[in-house]
Structure 1
Amino acid sequence: MKQWIAALGLALPLGSAFAAEPFTVQHLNDLNKVHSAALSPDGSTVVYAIKTVDGDHSQSDLYRQVVGGEAQRLTFDKGTEHSVAFAADGKGIYFLAARSGTTQLWYLPLAGGEARQVSDLPLNVDGFKFDNAGQQVVLQLRVDPACDTLACSAEKAEAKAEQKTTGQHYTGLMYRHWDTWTDGLRNHLFVAKLDGDTLSEPVDVTAGLDTEVPPLPFSGLEEVSFTPDGKHVVYAAKAPGRDQSWHTNYDLWQVPVAGGDAVNLTADNPAWDSHPTFSADGQFMAWMAMSIPGYEADRFRVMLKDLRSGEVKELAPGWDRSAGSIAFGDDSNTLFVTTQDLGQVSIYAMDTRFGDRITLVNEGSNSLQAAAGGKVLYTRNTLHEPTDLYLMDEGGRNQTRLTQINQDKLKDVAFGDYEQFTFKGWNNETVHGYWIKPVGYQEGEKYPVAFLVHGGPQGSFGNRWHGRWNAQLWAGAGFGVVMVDFHGSTGYGTEFTHSISKDWGGKPLEDLQKGLAAVGKQQPWLDVNNACAAGGSYGGYMMNWIAGNWSDGFKCLVNHAGLFDMRSFYMVTEELWFPEYEFGGTYWEQTERYEQFNPVNHIDNWQTPMLVIHGALDYRVPLEQGLAAFTVLQRKGIESELLMFPDENHWILNPDNLVQWYEHTLGWMKKYTAE
């Protein structure tokens, strides 16, 4: 049958019934990845980058695709091109590449010809964004804030590299963040004028600022915009001060393109403001705003300011979802918004006049890339398909898949079928989850269970393709997979998400217990009495909590980067706003709350075999948390193993390390579920 279909020239669907191989971590590491997608001003052309992997070699190149046509490769350089943007006239593209030895801005005419270097700065360009007219560009550079010139920053970096001493001196928090010790450098924004292929001398419009713009570690130029008239730059940043590690008060600041004093546009909001976005006609500024100070998982409301009247309002204030990204359509009447929704990440179109919204896409995990020329460019992935590019009309019609970048690599790979389920959890409230059948599933057989618990804790294991915790890898190894979005998960309403704070070991544990029991009754092929559980971050915390409070629930546990002792965790984590909100204050102010759900207080009940995994560069949940759990397991004589990565942070990013991670994790779980 497979040969017959191929003979007819038909494409096999990913994960088809004719596929032979189960999905493995080697397949995951070898997948191509689409990134840096841009849409031409008239909506007719898409340019994007594809990172291809061939053994130990990887390369990233740019492709152009006219809507309705075939993709055309644009670049063949051995390096990496990324961060693509169309020129205002649509005749060429700008991108970043390190072709000249450092990462600089390049221009490529689409009519033909070689790429030309636009910037030649002594520092790497980490990001850029043009104004509406395409005549000015804001550049993201990492500089020494004490320097007046880029050359000064470069010279100081060279001098530091030649220093013989290694001691690092600090006078306050935060001295390290995510996986990096603070080195005195800061992200700053520079504005330059563009004259043909020549940039003027960049002006540091954030000169003297001792905070990060854009903020670290995950923000980019989505936090920066030119005003429609090109006279100002608006950016999100914290105000300078010694309290940055224990508050989340990011504000929107406006500064002239020539530099000068910045004006705080959102000073009246003591919580998080983000994603300043302007309509092309200059009528509105939209942004996302939280309302609870110190709470990083609060609902992002969609805010709108009429720049003519000065009126500010929340769009759709009764909509109980948190925005993830926003973008204006061609006119100021339409704002596109992404948000998590019942296990999906959906795209909506909102009317800026009335706050009405329509659902454009509500299947899988979707991400806005661009809106122009009456079109919306977005990506989509699901539990059994990696990310590809899609295009649709602004009203959601004519949804078209543009790429299938892994069709050849996955044509002979099988994925497990999956389905969303619901059950009555804590307080008899509806809780959602997903199950996945093992590859090679046979009716009437029973299969061991891999019970995966997401991190966050305000997170979700929904209908998405995950680059690290990929549920299909457990299905490929012969497990039935169960994932529960317990109380505290995102995408189910504000109250549901808020409910985990100050109750880490309460409602979530009850949901997990009831969810496993319920799915076992709904799907009898799942052998819930032959199960292992695994989780990272808060999910790792839950492994430690389960060990002491559900000690007969599983044959084994896998604890990745899990919190073990809430007292010591508070003293060494970097973003103090997180525990201070989750537990109501500092450890010494709320000792009882921290200790109420502290796994270390229940080690007398530990008996379940546990694999402990941790990265030494993890400053969010420092390594000692994993070492302490392993010490207890070993001293109590409980079967246990430790896998430590000296070069990884809170995540496992090195592909070879990811192979090792899955070899140990799947091997551990197979060992204890083999019957």
Structure 2
Amino acid sequence: MGLRAKKFTPEVLLSAPRRSEGIPNSDASKVLYSVSTYSFDDHAKASEIRLLDSKSQESSLVTDKNGSSEPQWLDDDTVLLLHGDEGGVTHIKVGPVQHFGDGSYIAGTIDGPVGNVKLVRIGNGTYGVALTGKVKPCGDLYNPEKAEKPVTTGREFDSLFVRHWDHYTTENRNAIFLATLYKEADKYKLSELKNALKGSKLESPIDPFGGTDNFDISTHGLVFTAKDPDLNPATHTKTNIYLSASKNFWLDIAKGLPEFFEVPISNFEGASTSPVWDKTGTSIAFLSMKTDGYESDKNQLFVIPDYVTPGWVIHHFPGGSSGQGTWDRSPQSIAWGGNDTLYLTAEAKGRMNLFTAAARPTGLNPVPSQLVKGGYITSVKVLNSGDIFLTSTSLIESSLYSTVPADHAKRTLSGQSYYTLPVDESPYDPKSSQLITKYVSSSTHCGGMFGIYGHQVSEISWPGAADDTDIHAFVIKPSNFKEGKTYPLAYLIHGGPQGAWGDSWSTRWNPVLFAEQGYVVITPNPTGSTGYGQKFVDAIQNQWGGLPYEDLVLGFDYIQKNLPYVDTDHAVALGASYGGYMMNWIQGHDLGRKFKALVTHDGVFSMTSQLASEELYFPFHDLGGTLWNNSESWSKWDPSRFAGNWATPHLIVHSELDYRLTMNEGLSAFNVLQTKGVHSKLLYFPDENHWVLKPENSLKWHEVVFDWINEHAGLEKYTVWRAGNVKKQPEDS
């Protein structure tokens, strides 16, 4: 089984291997993946690309050369990967998977950093290749290591969107590059890259998080999503689907890319995402939202049956009085299972489940059937056989690979039982009453490597503040939980606000890690949370401190009355982003007096400060208009209005590079606490954004946060425990 940690601590979490999604070969007998680890002794990160033999469960090294990434199969024995090198260049390397180090070669070198590689077979041993990278205004690939350094740091702006997420905008933007990979003297060679977006005003992938989900290639063309070039991205969410296709696409691009076609979607003015070709390169599926300016509107499914007639678009599951369609789920990704089947991931009650639907619906147009339940599915890949390869996580599992046989998927589509992700290493049992997917590999041996287990996690619900609503929450107990003993409550409030706590792994806010400090952790999903229907999501508009706060008050009361093992007299509450807003709101209201301590990470202090944010459409939508058109709402839900009530000990965490919620928000909250004489502390990171990502900074975050809440909840400080125990806690097998 390998090494097993005596206690699940921040050091264990942050130094444990982080495994990527699995990249299976044609039958998933072999799986490529990348894995990174961080050493707090050496203060260094190490990365490898590895190969898993599914049958033997043995893992072997493909390469540990620094800069190697994004492995892809060319065939069942040959791998392509990217290798960043000195001078900012990127090599395309190809070689046999079993001895890549000795047998690989450079198939081409690109003069700049690129990523998001996609491949498609186009016949005669040739592949179409798509990559993305930053380009200069002229359309040529941008290499920051070779760029001329400006003599002044002054920048001029004459429109909105000055900065985004954690960086100021520049003249360089993302573009998709196309090329072919062909055989020459028994070795692959990369043709010259062509910027597919050159000469247009379009940018794809969309910053800051767009990647391979923003575009796709097939034998017949390129499809991608991009912001509408005629609308300012600070006040609009509208993105369009663009298609460039022809019968001989990869031959035609040598003469010039076929003209882009903007796919028409009547009455849908929001964000369009996740365009995916089917396996024949004929049909395209994608997702789209109705409302411009609302990033949490419901995704709805569309299919272009034939690229030859791209104006013919089928809207799946339409209808409903609200125009939100008959399927009350918001799909997040699409995979084709052949010409007649689609697989969709969508949140449902704290999980990211897999659903299946007909690609070409009948007149009845039934909503999708749930195929796999449990955990959080992060990647879906359909094998040549039709079997489905899944990558997923859970609250106790950092990386799970599993499969669903094709015949089970067909059975579910016809209305039979769904399947669950395995919670242990048991093989698939077709006679079991609880049908499970077939286990392939667990990075943590289903939590056992960390000494954490599925039985620590349960679920509760209570009536919400609004009529006919139930508030769902996960309950996570310590691994050494004992009946008859009480444990202080850690009430964790999620961000968004249109987000949710799920049965998923995290290296930033890991509920099990909090539980291992000695808390019963409860993660409520109040009004505005995703995965409980679009009406529930939409209900938070103009209600930031209203219904969600009332849901949390009712939840605290429910916990007091129904969970005797929870010590609410020594409760603490924590939240980030909108959860941080809620901590500041709670601090100014009655619920704040029921906690021994609060933690706000990157939270809103003053609503008017949201005008410094980059994506202005967000407060404009959620607060029901602009400040000057609806000042009453902006004022009503402003935590700073209630600063006179602040009295509970409070830790404020904020980072300089957070341009979504600026540093002034954290300083303002801290200054109020200090001026009022409330016991408080400020933790500041000059080099982090909305998230604390660097391992050493993340360890510091956990140390300060755990010390703060433990002290006030009556538990031993984490740093005190570590000083006395870490040297006495060897790992054993």
Is the structural similarity TM-score above 0.5? yes
> In the alignment, is the contact (CA less than 8 A) between 1:36 and 1:82 conserved in 2?
no
Alignment partner, residue 673 of structure 2: 633
The one-letter code matched in structure 1 to 2:283 is F
For residues 356 and 43 of structure 1, what CA distance do their matches in structure 2 show?
30
Displacement of 1:501 in angstroms is 1.3
Distance 1:36 1:362, change over 3 A: closer
Where does 1:456-535 land on structure 2 (aligned, <5 Å)? 456-535=496-575
Which one of the candidate residues 146, 157, 160 is aligned to 2:148?
Answer: 160
Alignment partner, residue 98 of structure 1: 84
Displacement of 1:410 in angstroms is 5.3
> In the alignment, is the contact (CA less than 8 A) between 1:304 and 1:314 conserved in 2?
yes
For residues 367 and 129 of structure 1, what CA distance do their matches in structure 2 show?
18
Alignment partner, residue 141 of structure 1: 133
Distance 1:118 1:31, change over 3 A: same
Distance 1:492 1:469, change over 3 A: same
Alignment partner, residue 8 of structure 1: none
Displacement of 1:556 in angstroms is 1.2
Name the stretch that deviates more: 354-363 or 172-181: 354-363
Name the stretch that deviates more: 607-616 or 111-120: 111-120
Which one of the candidate residues 462, 473, 496 is aligned to 1:423?
Answer: 462
The one-letter code matched in structure 1 to 2:127 is Q
Name the stretch that deviates more: 71-80 or 425-434: 71-80
Displacement of 1:59 in angstroms is 2.5
Displacement of 1:260 in angstroms is 5.5
Q: Does 1:403 align with 2:441?
A: yes
Alignment partner, residue 318 of structure 1: 326
Deviations 1:138-185 (A, max 9, x none): 2211111234x44xx44x863433x33222222222121101111221
The one-letter code matched in structure 2 to 1:286 is A
For residues 5 and 699 of structure 2, what CA distance do their matches in structure 1 show?
21
Alignment partner, residue 5 of structure 1: none
Alignment partner, residue 112 of structure 2: 123
Q: Does 1:353 align with 2:372?
A: no
> In the alignment, is the contact (CA less than 8 A) between 1:630 and 1:641 conserved in 2?
yes
For residues 211 and 566 of structure 1, what CA distance do their matches in structure 2 show?
33
> In the alignment, is the contact (CA less than 8 A) between 1:45 and 1:67 conserved in 2?
yes
Q: Does 1:79 align with 2:83?
A: no
Q: Helix, strand or coil: the match of 1:244? A: coil
Deviations 1:75-117 (A, max 9, x none): 2333143222222x44422222225663332222346552222
Q: Does 1:68 align with 2:55?
A: yes
For residues 452 and 145 of structure 2, what CA distance do their matches in structure 1 show?
50
For residues 61 and 403 of structure 1, what CA distance do their matches in structure 2 show?
17
> In the alignment, is the contact (CA less than 8 A) between 1:273 and 1:290 conserved in 2?
yes
Alignment partner, residue 730 of structure 2: none
For residues 240 and 84 of structure 1, what CA distance do their matches in structure 2 show?
33
Deviations 1:24-62 (A, max 9, x none): 100111111111532223554322222234443433222
Q: Helix, strand or coil: the match of 2:37? A: strand
The one-letter code matched in structure 2 to 1:595 is S
For residues 464 and 614 of structure 1, what CA distance do their matches in structure 2 show?
25
For residues 70 and 237 of structure 1, what CA distance do their matches in structure 2 show?
41
Alignment partner, residue 373 of structure 2: 362
Q: Does 1:674 align with 2:714?
A: yes
For residues 146 and 282 of structure 2, what CA distance do their matches in structure 1 show?
46
For residues 293 and 361 of structure 1, what CA distance do their matches in structure 2 show?
32
The one-letter code matched in structure 2 to 1:674 is G
5+ residue gaps, structure 2, are: 246-252, 318-324, 410-418, 420-427, 429-436, 716-733
Across the two proteins, how many residue pairs are aligned to each other? 650
> In the alignment, is the contact (CA less than 8 A) between 2:545 and 2:637 conserved in 1?
yes
Alignment partner, residue 392 of structure 1: 404
Deviations 1:269-312 (A, max 9, x none): 31111111111124421101111111101111121221177643
Displacement of 1:408 in angstroms is 11
Displacement of 1:542 in angstroms is 0.2
> In the alignment, is the contact (CA less than 8 A) between 2:275 and 2:286 conserved in 1?
yes
Q: Does 1:212 align with 2:224?
A: no
Displacement of 1:402 in angstroms is 2.2
Which one of the candidate residues 237, 245, 256 is aligned to 1:248?
Answer: 237
For residues 112 and 666 of structure 1, what CA distance do their matches in structure 2 show?
45
> In the alignment, is the contact (CA less than 8 A) between 2:397 and 2:442 conserved in 1?
no
Name the stretch that deviates more: 166-175 or 487-496: 166-175
> In the alignment, is the contact (CA less than 8 A) between 1:178 and 1:217 conserved in 2?
yes
Displacement of 1:482 in angstroms is 1.1
For residues 522 and 621 of structure 2, what CA distance do their matches in structure 1 show?
30
Displacement of 1:547 in angstroms is 0.9
Q: Helix, strand or coil: the match of 1:411? A: helix
Q: Helix, strand or coil: the match of 2:588? A: helix
Distance 1:34 1:637, change over 3 A: same
What's the Cα RMSD here?
A: 2.4
For residues 635 and 174 of structure 2, what CA distance do their matches in structure 1 show?
38
Distance 1:206 1:267, change over 3 A: farther
For residues 174 and 546 of structure 2, what CA distance do their matches in structure 1 show?
40
For residues 139 and 456 of structure 1, what CA distance do their matches in structure 2 show?
31
Q: Does 1:199 align with 2:240?
A: no
Q: Does 1:41 align with 2:80?
A: no
Alignment partner, residue 415 of structure 2: none
For residues 11 and 345 of structure 2, what CA distance do their matches in structure 1 show?
32
State the percentage of identical aligned residues. Answer: 31
> In the alignment, is the contact (CA less than 8 A) between 1:187 and 1:213 conserved in 2?
yes
Where does 1:257-656 land on structure 2 (aligned, <5 Å)? 257=253, 258-259=256-257, 261-266=259-264, 268=266, 269-307=268-306, 311-316=312-317, 317-329=325-337, 331-354=338-361, 355=366, 357-373=368-384, 374-394=386-406, 395-396=408-409, 398=428, 399-407=437-445, 411=449, 413-414=451-452, 417-428=456-467, 429-550=469-590, 551-569=592-610, 571-656=611-696
Displacement of 1:456 in angstroms is 0.4
The one-letter code matched in structure 1 to 2:26 is P
> In the alignment, is the contact (CA less than 8 A) between 2:326 and 2:367 conserved in 1?
no
For residues 152 and 539 of structure 2, what CA distance do their matches in structure 1 show?
49
For residues 646 and 284 of structure 1, what CA distance do their matches in structure 2 show?
47
For residues 686 and 174 of structure 2, what CA distance do their matches in structure 1 show?
27
Distance 1:412 1:342, change over 3 A: closer
For residues 462 and 169 of structure 2, what CA distance do their matches in structure 1 show?
46
Which one of the candidate residues 19, 31, 51 is aligned to 2:16?
Answer: 31
For residues 37 and 477 of structure 1, what CA distance do their matches in structure 2 show?
32
The one-letter code matched in structure 2 to 1:96 is L
Give TM-score, length-normalised by structure 2. 0.84
Deviations 1:342-367 (A, max 9, x none): 11110112122334533222111112
The one-letter code matched in structure 1 to 2:132 is Q
> In the alignment, is the contact (CA less than 8 A) between 1:127 and 1:139 conserved in 2?
yes
The one-letter code matched in structure 1 to 2:329 is R
Distance 1:159 1:325, change over 3 A: closer
For residues 111 and 447 of structure 1, what CA distance do their matches in structure 2 show?
51
> In the alignment, is the contact (CA less than 8 A) between 2:399 and 2:444 conserved in 1?
no
For residues 391 and 182 of structure 2, what CA distance do their matches in structure 1 show?
34
> In the alignment, is the contact (CA less than 8 A) between 2:451 and 2:479 conserved in 1?
no
Distance 1:103 1:402, change over 3 A: farther
Name the stretch that deviates more: 452-461 or 350-359: 350-359
Deviations 1:12-34 (A, max 9, x none): 9x9xxxx8833110011111111
Q: Helix, strand or coil: the match of 1:280? A: coil
For residues 539 and 412 of structure 1, what CA distance do their matches in structure 2 show?
27
For residues 20 and 69 of structure 1, what CA distance do their matches in structure 2 show?
25
5+ residue gaps, structure 1, are: 1-10
Distance 1:43 1:314, change over 3 A: farther
The one-letter code matched in structure 2 to 1:478 is G
